[in-house]
Amino acid sequence: MADRVTKQANEVKLIVFACEAGMGSSLMGANQLKKMVKKAKLDVTVVHAPVHEIPAHTDVVLTHTGLAARAHEKAPTAAVVPFTMFFNDPTVKTVVDKLAAGEPIVSEL
């Protein structure tokens, strides 16, 4: 995909942790992300949603590598960041760290 979306840290207000069906380990991963965002004192809302229900106003989508293309189709203006593990994936921590440092989030498709 040639579409690389960049979101400046101050633009990020909604992060969606997207999965296939909205249950199981992805819910645990979303809860972990919420705790990380709170600890970093970011003014960002984190929601958990199936990839086909990503809200249109989403700024960043964190999703499994296998769902990244579908997430981009559903939310073309969001920065889509794929990960490989639903829980404790270092990519998720990197996104929070970048936002806390005021760095932009760039789609990794």
Residue in 18, 19, 61, 79 annotated catalytic: 19
DSSP string of the chain?
-----EE-GGG--EEEEEESSS-THHHHHHHHHHHHHHHTT---EEEEEEGGG--TT-SEEEEEGGGHHHHHHH-TTSEEEEES-SSS-HHHHHHHHHHHTT--EE---
105 catalytic residue (yes or no): no
Q: Round to whole Å and give the CA distance between 5 and 67.
A: 17
Q: Which residues are catalytic?
A: 19
